[in-house]
Chain A
Amino acid sequence: MAPTATGRYYLPAGLPAPVAEPDGLDRPYWDGTRRSELWVQRCNRCRTWQWGPEWICHACLVSDVGWTRVDGRGVIYSWERAWHPVHPALKGHGPYIVVLVELPHAGGIRMLGNLLGDPQQVVTIGAPVEAVFEAHDDAKTPFTLVQWVCEPQDAAGLGPRRPRRAI
């Protein structure tokens, strides 16, 4: 787990906890996060990537939508820095950063998360980021959030190093 502004978790405890949908549609995603793995949908027939999950492929309309493990690397597509606490758990906390991350190697699907590190950092659209897994093992129903950190640039400025293994 990368160091965060507030210690163990990026945001204070007490925000609504995620649970898989009762119909099981997104269960492979949430189960994957518990193993520190990123799983998304990809159509078994036409190979179209799909996120968020749906029951059928939006491109070829078959129900044979498979799940694929993807590498947790992407680029910042957009971002926001939230200041006003809209939930009691956020009172006295903040600001914090939410990023929308594009996964170019997975059909350009996008994933959300917090950008870990200094909440006042300069955020650059297009900057490379990698996924880390924030396990909330002490929650009533344990869950894991996918979070994002900026990929470190090497000293020679030759671009991002190979991503660290997510923990």
Chain B
Amino acid sequence: MKDRTLRGKVVLAGIGETTYYKHGQAPASEFQLALEAILKACHDAGIDPREVDGFSSYSNDRNDPSRIAAALGLPALRFSNMQWGGGGGGGSAAVGNAAAAVAGGVADCVVVFRALAQGQFQRFGAAPPVATVAGELAMTFPYGLISPAQRFAMRVMRFMHEHGVRHEAQRAIALASYHHAQANPRAVMHGRPLTAEAYDASRWIVEPFRLFDCCLENDGAAAIVVVSADRARDLPKRPAYLLGVAQGSEHRNAARAHNAPLYATSSFTTVVPRLYDMAGVTPADVDVVQSYENFTGGVLMSLVEHGFFAAEEANEFLRVDNLLAPSGRLPLNTSGGNLAECYMHGFELVIEAVRQLRRESTAQVPDADVSMVISGPMVTPVSSLILGGEATL
């Protein structure tokens, strides 16, 4: 069944982003931001927006594809897809779903997007204004276990306990993201460098996460155009081919009230083998990684589960110099990512992965040819993808 692969069948042809704002500071509505990013992505791909015939998103994005299609005056809408699950776990999967639609002949030109204006809606980091809760929330909210940071801290705490991981490993991830953001004028934290001392002095949000272990909350939008690889030669920019994509989670990962049998994971253990199998590469082939940081602890678990080092090697591997472009062992989150560029639910990470292959990153890894994105650790489902340049086909 060699046909059952997306390897090399589509390209990520165009990328588009709005300005990234602090939450509540966007001068436009979320829907306007979505349209702006979509139009920019089409322009970047050299594709007439009227060619778009499908949309793919994730995390209950509020911007209905039919309304977008009406706003853009599309002649026909052929694919409307929403990846299940909250958080950023669907970032790579949404690209995979678009790719499957294009490769399978369901649609020809699918835009994957995510738009967020948290000033316009409920903030993720704050409790929703409800008097009563039922179901799983009834087992968590009354104990002050409410926010995403609080939901995931205990998984990371258990992981660090099982494998002897020290806080310095989390710190290195935060410092690498902030370091890369200083070269990136798009980054919300551009011009706001972070030192180890400032990290250590920052307040606890919930142990084991300090302030700088936690992602930002932002307003903005990001979009990517996916078309068939047959069109790669006509594109104005160097093509980024999808080599592999996988989504899912482990056995009973969603068992309520923290009863996932395999608790101390980022949920990728059953996803990763399929990812590498489709992509036809190994961890040693990966030149640069964008790994979703809801919290730094999720990144360290993700990198372990994607095979870059064993959990017991985390303290040794996760040192800042190993994580920096251009020459670290594993350049990580080269735009600044969710911690320091913008929290666009991790979709800015997919865009940065494309930039690395185009040689357009502000923290470029020389000759990067295999570029990975890891989306949304510790939620379910999670997803990840691997992009490659032409030489990898």
How long is the Cα–Cα vector from A150 to B163 in the complex, in angstroms? 24
Chain A residues whose C-beta falls within 8 Å of the C-beta of B143 in the assembled complex: 11, 98, 112-114, 145
- Interface size class of chain B, counting residues whose CB lies under 8 Å from the partner chain: 35 or more
A81-B206, A125-B161 given; A110·B258 CB < 8 A: yes
Interface residues of A in 112-167 (CB under 8 A from B): 112-114, 125, 140-141, 143, 145
Judged by a CB distance under 8 angstroms, whether A22 is at the interface is: yes
CB of B127 within 8 A of CB of A100, answer: no
- Interface size class of chain A, counting residues whose CB lies under 8 Å from the partner chain: 35 or more
CB of A84 within 8 A of CB of B133, answer: no
CB of B135 within 8 A of CB of A80, answer: no
Judged by a CB distance under 8 angstroms, whether A7 is at the interface is: no
A17-B133, A18-B138 given; A78·B157 CB < 8 A: yes
A16-B142, A17-B133, A52-B257 given; A84·B205 CB < 8 A: yes
Judged by a CB distance under 8 angstroms, whether A2 is at the interface is: no
Interface residues of A in 9-64 (CB under 8 A from B): 11, 15-22, 26, 30, 51-53, 58
How long is the Cα–Cα vector from A142 to B370 in the complex, in angstroms? 57
Judged by a CB distance under 8 angstroms, whether B166 is at the interface is: no
CB of B155 within 8 A of CB of A78, answer: yes
CB of B134 within 8 A of CB of A20, answer: yes
Minimum CB–CB distance for A54 against chain B, Å = 8
A112-B257, A145-B143 given; A19·B154 CB < 8 A: no
A18-B142, A82-B144 given; A98·B134 CB < 8 A: no
CB of A112 within 8 A of CB of B145, answer: yes
Minimum CB–CB distance for A88 against chain B, Å = 8
CB of B144 within 8 A of CB of A109, answer: no
Greatest chain B CB density within 10 A among A11, A19, A88, A109 is at A19
How long is the Cα–Cα vector from A17 to B157 in the complex, in angstroms? 27
How long is the Cα–Cα vector from A36 to B132 in the complex, in angstroms? 21
CB of A114 within 8 A of CB of B144, answer: yes
Minimum CB–CB distance for B276 against chain A, Å = 29
A77-B263, A98-B145, A112-B145 given; A16·B207 CB < 8 A: no
Judged by a CB distance under 8 angstroms, whether B64 is at the interface is: no
Q: Name 5 extra pairs, CB < 8 A, besides A30-B138, A82-B144, A100-B158.
A: A77-B263, A80-B207, A84-B149, A84-B204, A112-B145
Taking Cβ atoms with an 8 Å cutoff, the residues of A that contact B are 11, 15-22, 26, 30, 51-53, 58, 77-84, 86-88, 90, 95-96, 98, 100, 109-114, 125, 140-141, 143, 145
Query: Would you give 24 A-B contacts (Cβ < 8 Å), ordered by A?
Result: A11-B144, A17-B132, A17-B142, A51-B255, A51-B256, A77-B263, A78-B154, A78-B158, A78-B258, A82-B205, A82-B206, A83-B203, A84-B206, A86-B126, A86-B127, A86-B146, A87-B127, A98-B145, A98-B150, A110-B257, A110-B259, A110-B263, A114-B144, A141-B132
Nearest first, the 6 closest Cβ-Cβ pairs linking A and B are A52-B256, A18-B138, A78-B158, A80-B153, A87-B127, A78-B154
